């Protein structure tokens, strides 16, 4: 779906695609909800919307979905949700069973909330279940009330994966009210590389030896 408003995929089962299952670009008030996405080759859902230059929110969404086994052909940088633009949300989803990242976001003022992310970053080192990086103009995204558990591979020996990773100067992200663990003992849990104005408040850590790595 390229362009338009109020385009919604609702109560569908999407599976067995070589590339992604759903691709939204340059849209408003659009998205996918109450659906299952699985067994895709290179990521699951692409969601791009809003006008960053004029600060107009996209109000697009991935909501109430189950997403799993979505990087069968390309194991790295093939997230369940590739979120871009301004003012979009990823909420109330369960995402699991991937060797690399679950959610990758770029842009500003997104909300990622009430998701359950588990059995992710299973074959990854320097990566996060939720990841962003290299765009210094992005700001204001909120990651809140999510549950991360069984992240990473306990057999990994170097460059542990993370639950949230703000890479290469990414800044001004709020991480609030999340539950990290159990099953994160091999993680750096939260990681910042050269960013600023990132905040971590009221989070709960369970059996997490490294809560924040900078």
The model's confidence at residue 173, banded by pLDDT at 50, 70 and 90, is very high
The tokens describing 66, both together, are 């189950």
Q: What is the mean pLDDT of residues 73-100?
A: 97
pLDDT digits 0-9 by tens, 7-59: 999 999 999 999 999 999 999 999 999 999 999 999 999 999 999 999 999 99
Edge-to-edge order in the sheet of strand 111-113: 8-10, 31-33, 61-63, 89-91, 111-113, 141-144, 173-176, 199-201
**pLDDT averaged over every residue in the chain:** 93
Distances, alpha carbon 67 to alpha carbons 5, 20, 37, in Å: 24, 12, 5
The model's confidence at residue 159, banded by pLDDT at 50, 70 and 90, is low
């Amino acid at each position: 779906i390229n362009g338009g408003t109020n385009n919604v995929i609702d109560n569908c089962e999407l599976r067995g695609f070589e590339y992604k299952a759903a691709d939204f670009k340059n849209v408003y008030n659009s998205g996918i909800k109450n659906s299952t996405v699985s067994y895709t080759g290179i990521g699951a859902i692409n969601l791009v919307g809003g006008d960053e230059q004029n600060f107009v929110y996209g109000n697009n969404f991935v909501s109430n979905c189950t997403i799993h086994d979505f990087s069968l052909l390309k194991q790295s940088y093939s997230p369940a949700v590739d979120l871009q633009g301004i003012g979009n949300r990823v909420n109330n989803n369960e995402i699991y069973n991937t060797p690399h990242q679950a959610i990758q976001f770029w842009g500003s003022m997104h909300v990622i909330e009430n998701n359950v992310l588990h059995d992710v970053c299973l074959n990854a080192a320097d990566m996060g279940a939720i990841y962003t990086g290299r765009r210094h103009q992005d700001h204001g995204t909120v990651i809140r009330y999510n549950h991360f558990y069984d992240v990473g591979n306990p057999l990994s020996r170097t460059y542990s994966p993370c639950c949230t990773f703000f890479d290469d100067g990414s800044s001004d992200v709020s991480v609030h009210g999340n539950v990290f663990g159990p099953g994160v003992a091999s993680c750096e849990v939260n990681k910042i590389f050269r960013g600023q104005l990132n905040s971590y408040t009221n989070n709960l850590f369970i059996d997490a030896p490294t809560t924040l790595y900078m």
